[in-house]
Amino acid sequence: MRPAAPGKPSTTPRFAAAFTEAEPGRIHPSPIATPYGWHALWLERRIDGRTLPLEAVEEKIKTFLDARIWQHAVKHDFGILVGRAEIGGISFDGAGSPLVQ
C-alpha cells in the first residue's frame, strides 16, 4: 500500500474502521466490503506512532529532498529540450520557455 499524504487516509473509511476495531493476533470477525472487493483482515500487532527527534530522521529527510529536487530538475530540463526539439511524426508536451513550473 502506498503511503498517504499527511492527514489523508490511505484506505477506505470502512477498511480503516475495521483496522481500528481489530484485535492484534486475531482475525477480524467478519469480511470487510469495500469498493475494491471483499477483504479478510488479520492484524498481527499494533504499534502506536510516536514523534522522533530530528536527529533520528534528518538524513532520510535530506535524501528524500535531494531526490525530489533532482527529479524536478530533470523534468524541467527535459521539458525545455522537448519544447525546443523538432521531431516529425510524434508529438510531445514540451515547454516553450525555460520558465517551467
pLDDT in tens, 9-59: 678 888 888 988 899 999 988 899 988 899 999 999 988 889 999 999 999
Give the number of domains in the chain: 2
Beta bridge partners of 34: 37
The answer to the question of residue 27 being in a domain is yes
* Same domain as 57, residue 23: no
Instruction: DSSP letter for 34, please.
Output: E
* Same domain as 60, residue 81: yes
- Residue 28 makes CB contacts below 8 A (sequence gap 6+) with 18, 21, 22, 40, 41, 42, 43
* Same domain as 61, residue 37: no
Q: Would you say residue 67 has pLDDT above 60?
A: yes
The answer to the question of residue 21 being in a domain is yes
Say which residue the cell 533532482 belongs to: 70
CB atoms near residue 28 (< 10 Å): 16
pLDDT of 19: 86
75 band by pLDDT with thresholds 50, 70 and 90: very high
Structural domain span for residue 96: 52-101
Grid cell in block for residue 61: 529527510
The answer to the question of residue 4 being in a domain is no
Model's pTM, two decimal places? 0.43
